[in-house]
């Protein structure tokens, strides 16, 4: 049984999710201790419990410690089984994080899978549906995976109620990809978008006006998506940057008492930082690429300075897999990350 300390590095739910994914895929028994020990509400929350129960169902695992607030879990899996599944978080917890947990074992199962996920689809501190659909899954497709993700209903905090449908075709191997730094001047193609639900129209209009003026965007590069049937009001602001064959997605969330100007400023500052490096892979995408490139046993990318979240993921993946991940400071001030089989 492999033991993982859930408080290591960034110490959040990603340690749990990565450990579950790889244990389910490789079939090794797992014990996780100190789960989210440093968080304000430590231990397993509803969203994490759904990831545990969903993964356990897919691999017919024996599980102990799967209860609200638990800081210790044992997980003994069997082989992944594709098929049709429905997983309801029961809160506005992130369906996208649950999807990322179960994706890897289902991708290497022997049968096709169709999974319905119910909960939040656009959550702060989690990848949004738009990030997965526009930024992450196209790269996974280039590696040979056939995965589709459909948004059937938006789900926002605090009530959730969103629905995602994932369809996953099995495969034997992922192909490595290389995403080096961009040579020369590659001006990005930028787009601003707002998802607005049950809020005054002027909020989204003002946000797009601020963004188009700041980025000198044409009207055709600004879009409002109006969501009428959602359980909670929402204001989600996106900036998309097409550069070097990748669409980077930056997300900023409106909240009660936060001016529209501040919502846009947050996204603009993050986009400015991303564009200051000659790279295709942004800070959050770098984190998402660790598992697939490790599974491919090769590949590389150049990115911005690594977040603690990503550094934690790298250390954990190297502990749980036979892969070597090298991180070297790049001349442009970011980091070059490369993968190779450890034998």
Report how far apart the first and last C-alpha atoms of the chain are (Å, whole number): 21
The reported pLDDT for the residue numbered 229 is 87
Q: Which pLDDT value is given to residue 186?
A: 73
Q: Which of 186, 240, 309, 332 is catalytic?
A: 309
Region 288-305 average pLDDT: 98
Which residues share a beta bridge with 38?
none
100-143 tens-digit pLDDT = 999 999 999 999 999 999 999 999 989 999 999 999 999 999 99
Homologous superfamily of domain range 189-275:
RNA 3'-terminal phosphate cyclase, insert domain (3.30.360.20)
Query: Is the pLDDT score of 147 beyond 90?
Result: yes
Taking each helix axis from N to C end, the angle separating 13-26 and 308-320, rounded to the nearest 10 degrees, works out to: 30
Element (H, E) at 95: helix 95-107
Residue 42 predicted with pLDDT over 90: yes
CB neighbour list of residue 125: distance below 8 Å, 6 or more residues apart: none
pLDDT confidence of 183, banded at 50, 70, 90?
confident
Residues of the chain with CATH 3.30.110: 1-79
User: Is residue 309 annotated as part of the catalytic site, yes or no?
Assistant: yes
Residues of the chain with CATH 3.30.360.20: 189-275
Of all residues in the chain, the percent with pLDDT exceeding 70 is: 100
Mean pLDDT of the chain: 96
Section 145-169 average pLDDT: 97
Note the pTM of the prediction, 2 decimals: 0.96
Residue tagged 């919502």 (tokens): 263
- Tens digits of per-residue pLDDT, 299-338? 999 999 999 999 999 999 999 999 999 999 999 999 999 9
Q: How confident is the model at residue 343 (pLDDT cuts 50, 70, 90)?
A: low
Placement of tokens 């690429």 in the chain: 289
pLDDT over 90 (residue 185): no
Q: What is the pLDDT of residues 215-261, one digit of tens each?
A: 999 999 999 999 988 999 999 999 999 999 999 999 999 998 899 99
- pLDDT above 90 for 342: no
**Residue 12 DSSP SS3:** coil
Pairing of strands 298-303, 335-341: antiparallel
Task: Band the pLDDT of 187: cuts 50, 70, 90.
Answer: confident
For residue 269, give every residue at least 6 positions away whose Cβ sits within 8 Å of its Cβ, in sequence order, or none. Answer: none
Domain at 1-79, CATH from 3.40.91, 3.30.110, 2.60.120, 3.40.1350: 3.30.110
Cis peptide before 43 (omega within 30 of 0): no
């Amino acid at each position: 049984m492999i033991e993982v300390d859930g408080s290591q590095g960034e110490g959040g739910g990603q340690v749990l999710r990565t450990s579950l994914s790889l244990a389910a895929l490789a079939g090794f028994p797992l014990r996780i201790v100190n789960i989210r020990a440093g968080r304000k509400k430590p231990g397993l929350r509803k969203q994490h419990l759904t990831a545990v129960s969903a993964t356990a169902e897919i691999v017919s695992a024996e599980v102990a410690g799967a209860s609200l607030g638990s800081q210790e879990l044992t997980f003994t899996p069997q082989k992944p089984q594709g098929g049709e599944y429905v997983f309801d978080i029961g809160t506005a917890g992130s369906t996208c994080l649950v999807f990322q947990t179960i994706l890897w074992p289902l991708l290497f199962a022997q049968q096709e899978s169709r999974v319905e996920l119910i909960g939040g689809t656009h959550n702060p501190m989690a990848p949004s549906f738009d990030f997965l659909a526009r930024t992450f899954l196209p790269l996974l497709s280039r590696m040979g995976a056939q995965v589709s993700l459909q948004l059937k209903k938006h789900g926002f905090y605090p009530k959730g109620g969103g629905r995602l449908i994932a369809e996953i075709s099995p495969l034997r191997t992922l192909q490595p990809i290389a995403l080096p730094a961009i040579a020369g001047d590659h001006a990005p193609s930028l787009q601003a978008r707002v998802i607005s639900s049950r809020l005054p129209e002027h909020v989204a209009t003002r946000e797009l006006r601020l963004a188009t003026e700041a980025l000198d965007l044409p009207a055709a590069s600004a879009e409002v998506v109006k969501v009428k049937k959602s359980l909670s009001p929402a204001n989600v602001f996106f900036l998309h940057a097409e550069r070097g064959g990748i669409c980077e997605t930056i997300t900023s969330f409106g909240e009660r008492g936060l001016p529209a100007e501040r919502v846009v400023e947050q996204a603009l500052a993050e986009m400015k930082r991303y564009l200051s490096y000659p790279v295709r892979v942004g800070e959050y995408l770098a984190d998402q690429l660790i598992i697939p490139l490790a599974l491919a046993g090769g590949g590389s990318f150049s990115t911005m300075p690594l977040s603690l979240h990503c550094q934690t993921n790298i250390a954990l993946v190297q502990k749980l897999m036979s892969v070597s991940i090298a991180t070297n400071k790049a001349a442009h001030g970011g980091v070059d990350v490369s993968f190779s089989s450890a034998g």
